[in-house]
Amino acid sequence: MFYRRIHPALNFWNASYFCGSAAVLRRKYLEEVGGIRGTTITEDAETAYQLHSRGYNSVYINRPMVCGLSPESYDDYVTQRSRWAQGMVQLVLLNNPLTTRGLSIPQRIAYFNSSFFWLFGFPRFIYFIAPASYLILGLNVYHASWMQILAFTLPYVLSIYVVMDFLYAGSRQPFFSEIYESVQSLFLMPAVISVLLNPWKPTFKVTPKGLTNEKNYLSPLAAPFFLVIGINVVAVILAGYKWFYEPLLRDVIAVTVIWSIYNLYLSIVALGAFWERKQIRKFYRIAASGKVVVRFPRMGNTAYEGEVHDVSLTGIGFKAKLPFLPRDRDEVLLEVHDSYGRIYHFENRLHRAVKQGDVYFCGSEFIDGRVPYGEIVSYVFGDSQRWQDNWNSKSATQGTGRMLWYFIRTGVAGFVGGIIPLTYHALKQLWKFGVRLATTRILRDKLLALASWFAYFFYLALTSLVQSLERRQVRKLQRMEASGPATLYFPRLDATVRGQVTDVSLTGIGVIVAELPFHIRNLERATIRTTGKQGEGYQFACVIHRTVKHEGGTLVGAEFIVDTYSYPKIVQFVYGTSTGMLYYVMVHGGTFAEHGTAAARGVLSQGWKAMRALPTYLFGKQDAGNRKPQIGEKPR
């Protein structure tokens, strides 16, 4: 798109600029602006900008004549694009092309547009969250009725694709351009914002290139897209709820849910950009064509004609009809030529030969020491016609309809080929961890202890939430009947009382004693000593919460003072093991599901009320005039 359509247009207005490579600059003029500029981190565009402002001309030759490396991973790709975005925004903030003297009006517009383009991440982000904002939060994102959408919006969207296909056919592919912008938007926004806040902050970062991957892996940068997928999934689920409970808004719900499903599909397809595949080849193979004459020294000097298939700095791939089976590591003599008529002779060694029909596809490697490196570079990279052929092969237009079908088909294939293997890989790693956990006692015990600790605090938070929502007292954990001797020591009074344990739970213990000879304050501190089921001794620091007259004695209800030191002893005393604690709390106790259901019901009810009220707090109440309901509004 940039080199096929934009740059020729810039060249028409004498505004084509230096893009870092494949350029020739007159040294005399370059010295006038102080050499390659470095105020921004896009030094190439800034240098061209300064030369244009002094009245010098630029010429863009619309023919590929060099080959460059692109980033190997998505992480490196983001590093490169973030630098471009930050540098071009710097150009606007620090120089402002619209007011720079020496530039013509078209040049000013061209430079401003080239910089302003990098703000596309903001509308793309809004496009991602807009339908979910209505379905989840009830925000009014688009003021139009269903008929207005059919009459105005739908024709507008379709006309965009028609005009795009007419103006940019062969250079900007419909739908795939959506993926291209989507995978960049969430990462370019923070980069651009940092420049807007401090134009001098960005530093130059070299884009890593020529790297290899030893294995398949998912880039950590995929995390934001998993969040986008989750938000849109929630939005689609809530759309189903609203469809039945808000029938008057079904036309609005239909529009936003279709929008959310498209965003969801787009996000899933975009995940393919984050799946880094194994890449152990150091040099990229380039599609090539042309005649090749092949000779096998072990078979004499008979020449066999074939076609070049691909080339790289390490070898040549070709196909030829051969009357015999090529052997692995056979030496071959290759005679090839380029579009300029130059003839090259190479000594190669076969690494593979695959027969398809009556033709052998052979992969050969240059033999070190026998082939001059300069000859290899000249043949592989010195033929600009090869780059032109490759460029032309990628510019064939297929129409919007075919591209839509290809987009859907590719997305499904990408899901099957990327997400499913990723899920399999995650399940495989989870299985390995489970096996390791089951066979390593120390690791298993520590993990179970951590799980019980988490369950304890989660349960306390859950019961507190139920109490606040339902405004009633709720027993935190079910008490279990118990027995055994117990001694209560009161430090403030320096007094000791003997009694019997009546019940226990993870939060406290009940002890019945004889008539107390002294008064106990509210929240009195005490130390309780008792024995476990196996006769082992325990000592717990407690707080007395209540004392009740009971059958000629006093029932004392105490709550454990829990910390990281005492918690394992409490679990062992009450349940025996962490596994027993988890089983009782989650299953046998019964109150976990009861409290969880009550909390979820209360949270959803209160949350729904809050979300319904949020637009009013954000935007204020709208005048209840006589007008038709708009998208995102209920009929009045």
What total of structural domains would you count in the chain? 4
Over the stretch 479-493, which tens digit does the pLDDT of each residue have?
A: 788 888 999 999 988
> Are 253 and 312 members of one domain?
no
380 vs 538: CA distance, rounded Å: 81
In a domain, 254, yes or no: yes
In a domain, 400, yes or no: no
In a domain, 435, yes or no: no
pLDDT at 508 over 70: yes
Q: What pLDDT is attached to residue 489?
A: 92
Contact 618, 231 (CB under 8 A): no
- Can you read off the two tokens belonging to residue 597? 């259901």
Q: What pLDDT is attached to residue 619?
A: 53
> Are 27 and 66 members of one domain?
yes
> Are 140 and 258 members of one domain?
yes
Over the stretch 140-155, which tens digit does the pLDDT of each residue have?
A: 777 777 778 888 888 8
How big is the chain by its Cα radius of gyration, in Å? 37
Q: What pLDDT is attached to residue 509?
A: 92
CATH code, domain with 21: 3.90.550.10
Q: What pLDDT is attached to residue 591?
A: 52
Residue closest to 320 by CA, chosen among 293, 301, 338: 293
Q: Which domain holds residue 323?
A: 286-393
Q: Among residues 581, 611, 629, which one ends one of the domains? A: 581
> Are 112 and 126 members of one domain?
no
Strands 508-513 and 553-560 come out as antiparallel
Over the stretch 244-293, which tens digit does the pLDDT of each residue have?
A: 888 878 888 888 888 888 888 888 777 777 766 666 566 778 888 889 99
Alpha carbon distances (Å) from 186 to 42, 81, 221, 265, 391: 21, 12, 10, 17, 30
Average pLDDT over residues 152-168: 80
> Are 135 and 150 members of one domain?
yes
Mean pLDDT value across the chain: 80
> Are 333 and 379 members of one domain?
yes
Contact 72, 211 (CB under 8 A): yes
Which segments of 20-153 does DSSP mark as H helices, in order?
27-32, 43-53, 74-95, 105-116, 121-137, 146-148
Residue closest to 195 by CA, chosen among 121, 134, 251, 256: 121
Q: What pLDDT is attached to residue 169?
A: 67
Mean pLDDT is lowest, of 105-114, 232-241, 409-418, 584-593, for: 584-593
Q: What pLDDT is attached to residue 568?
A: 83
> Are 157 and 266 members of one domain?
yes
> Are 129 and 227 members of one domain?
yes
In a domain, 136, yes or no: yes
**Number of residues in the chain:** 636
> Are 497 and 551 members of one domain?
yes
> Are 30 and 114 members of one domain?
yes
Residue 581 vs residue 352, higher pLDDT: 352
In a domain, 80, yes or no: no
524 vs 544: CA distance, rounded Å: 5
Residue 212 vs residue 479, higher pLDDT: 479
In a domain, 492, yes or no: yes
pLDDT at 388 over 70: yes
In a domain, 367, yes or no: yes
pLDDT at 80 over 90: no
49 vs 45: CA distance, rounded Å: 6
In a domain, 411, yes or no: no
224 vs 228: CA distance, rounded Å: 6
Q: Among residues 581, 603, 628, which one ends one of the domains? A: 581
> Are 110 and 142 members of one domain?
no
Q: What pLDDT is attached to residue 636?
A: 46
> Residue 337, exposed/middle/buried by CB under 10 A (0-12, 13-18, 19+)?
middle
Partner residues linked to 344 by β-bridges: 336
Contact 15, 63 (CB under 8 A): no
Residue closest to 310 by CA, chosen among 362, 243, 250: 362
> Are 39 and 114 members of one domain?
yes
Contact 366, 315 (CB under 8 A): yes
- Rounded to the nearest 5 percent, the helix, strand and coil shares of the chain are 50, 15, 30
- Can you read off the two tokens belonging to residue 433? 């961890």
Average pLDDT over residues 386-393: 80
CB atoms within 10 A of CB 121: 21
Q: What pLDDT is attached to residue 21?
A: 79
Q: DSSP secondary structure string, 408-467?
A: HHHHHHHIIIIIHHHHHHHHHHHHHHHHHHHH-HHHHHHHHHHHHHHHHHHHHHHHHHHH
CATH code, domain with 292: 2.40.10.220
Q: Going by C-beta distance under 8 Å and a sequence separation of 6 or more, which residues neighbour residue 139?
A: 133, 614, 615, 618, 632
Alpha carbon distances (Å) from 539 to 261, 491, 495, 501, 566: 59, 14, 16, 13, 9
pTM: predicted TM-score of the whole model, two decimal places:
0.61
Sign of CA dihedral 94, 98, 99, 104: positive
Most confident residue range from 15-24, 70-79, 90-99, 391-400: 90-99
Q: What pLDDT is attached to residue 324?
A: 87
